[in-house]
Amino acid sequence: MYKIGIIGERDSVLGFMALGFSVHEAENASEAEEALHALVKSGEYAVIFLVEHYAEALTEEIAKYKDLPLPAITVIPGSSGSRGYGMAAIKNAVERAVGADILFKDDE
């Protein structure tokens, strides 16, 4: 059975331990990158959640894994709130899958 992992600063990820997630604390983007590579390399994870501000710093690293069937790397807001990066990532993924921007249309 596959696992679900989460990578981020302590305040953002500790509560996910109660849900059965494999929690990986990172104090900076470098530690987050190491944890991401280790989780992907293990082959044990179906989903890896990554706190938004680390995901911004690791955009190129995440891109290396976007065409793999597993794991799905999903960006979530951190304890400081959303910066909009996660929503932009979802928009780009939908656009790649469908071939057109069907979400988030501006009503200007």
pTM above 0.85?
A: no
70 phi, psi to nearest 5 deg:
-140, 145
Note the pLDDT tens digit of each residue in 27-86.
999 999 999 999 999 999 999 999 999 999 999 999 999 889 999 999 998 877 777 776
What's the chain's length in residues?
108
Q: Where are the domains of the chain?
A: 3-98
Query: What's the half-sphere exposure (Cβ side, CA atoms, 13 Å) at 71?
Result: 25
Between CA 32 and CA 58 the distance in angstroms is: 8
**Tokens 């894994």 sit on residue:** 65
Yes or no: domain 3-98 corresponds to CATH 3.40.50.10580: yes
